């Protein structure tokens, strides 16, 4: 699918990966409909070409309304990016059950609603792409974040089931792909619900939301089953988990305890943005230096390549 001229709906478009994706699509000539609860944040992006569609993805009727209005205005939906998400931190026995349900409603049922609302039109036209943004935490689960990982595991299963159903139904023009981001510098950590008594932080290596956005755009152009968006460390963790899962889980739990949840000084009863949008400015990054580290890694890789080429030329002249 060509990005330029396509009609794409992005949920969670007010901040983080969703916002970065919406902006990347706009830069490449797509018509972008942005979905989020925060109407004010969407209106900020309207000046850059975004079509605001304020809606809560937990409300299926509202999501259906987005599909209906988009189709009436632009004639179709070429691609749908499910990216709305919230997260909470806390021990499984300490987190209120209502908060667990809310995370699953947003992070999983929000994706189900998007797929249910947009698929009938795509199937009828035999044309379209759905991209579900899951996480590598949907393969190696996050301790003290069970609801988030449960949703991300289920999102992967949703995509697999849909691909099988579409294939057996003879629908060849509709594709479903999944993106698995690693540790990404977005405000989701700042806005998290928290019952842990610790202050969550994003441990290195961190990556920029723009990197994930590029992966999402590639999925729209040429969908693949699952694609990791992040560096080598995340891929190595997934490989270790595939070969030796017990070791990977033990290592990851230790890393979370040492670097991610810093004990002391954190809230024990903070609903974060589970039920209402945060009252802070919405943005792509959150100051974890994902973009700066991306540039440093690219510079280091370029210097390393230049040094290797120089050494090879030197050896060839001897």
* Distances 214 to 59, 218, 236 between C-alpha atoms, Å: 29, 6, 21
Tokens representing 87? Answer: 């997260």
User: Distance between CA 66 and CA 197 in Å, rounded?
Assistant: 39
Q: Of 24, 28, 69, 76, nearest to 51 (Cα)?
A: 69
Peptide bond into 84 cis (omega under 30): no
Q: How many CB atoms lie within 10 A of CB 161?
A: 12
**Of residues 148, 207, 259, 275, which has the active-site annotation?**
148
Assess whether 207 carries a catalytic annotation: no
User: Distance between CA 182 and CA 207 in Å, rounded?
Assistant: 7
For 229, the 3-state DSSP assignment is: strand
175 exposure class (CB count in 10 Å sphere: 0-12, 13-18, 19+): buried
Residue for token pair 């968006």: 229
Own/partner contacts of 54-57, CB < 8 Å, gap of 24 or more, are 57/11, 57/12, 57/84, 57/106, 57/109, 57/110, 57/111, 57/113, 57/114
Task: Name the residues annotated as catalytic.
Answer: 148
């Amino acid at each position: 699918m060509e990005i330029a001229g396509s009609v794409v709906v992005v949920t969670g478009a007010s901040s983080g990966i969703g916002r970065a994706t919406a902006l990347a699509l706009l830069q490449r000539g797509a018509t972008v409909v942005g979905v989020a609860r925060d109407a004010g944040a969407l209106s900020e992006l309207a000046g850059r070409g975004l079509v605001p569609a304020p809606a809560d993805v937990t409300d299926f009727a509202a999501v259906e309304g987005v599909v209906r209005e988009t189709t009436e205005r632009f004639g179709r939906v070429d691609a749908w990016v499910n990216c709305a998400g919230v997260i909470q931190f806390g021990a499984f026995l300490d987190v209120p059950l209502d908060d667990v349900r809310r995370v699953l409603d947003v992070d999983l049922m929000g994706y189900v609603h998007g797929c249910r609302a947009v698929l009938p039109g795509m199937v009828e036209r035999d044309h379209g792409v759905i991209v579900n943004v899951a996480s590598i935490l949907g393969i190696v689960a996050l301790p003290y974040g069970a609801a988030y990982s449960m949703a991300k595991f289920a999102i992967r299963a949703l995509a697999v089931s849909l691909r099988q159903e579409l294939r057996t139904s003879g629908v060849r023009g509709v594709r479903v792909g999944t993106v698995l981001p690693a540790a990404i510098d977005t405000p989701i950590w700042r806005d998290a619900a928290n019952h842990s008594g610790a202050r969550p932080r994003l441990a290195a290596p961190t990556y920029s939301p723009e990197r994930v956005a590029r992966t999402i755009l590639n999925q729209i152009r040429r969908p693949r089953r699952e694609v990791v968006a992040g560096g080598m460390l995340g891929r190595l963790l997934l490989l270790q988990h595939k070969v030796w899962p017990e070791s990977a889980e033990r290592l990851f739990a230790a890393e979370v305890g040492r670097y991610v949840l810093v004990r002391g000084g954190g809230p024990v009863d903070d609903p974060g943005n589970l039920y209402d949008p945060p009252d802070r400015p919405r943005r792509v990054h959150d100051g974890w230096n994902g973009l700066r580290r991306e540039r440093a890694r690219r510079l280091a890789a370029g210097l390393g390549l230049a040094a290797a080429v120089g050494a090879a030329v030197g050896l060839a002249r001897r």
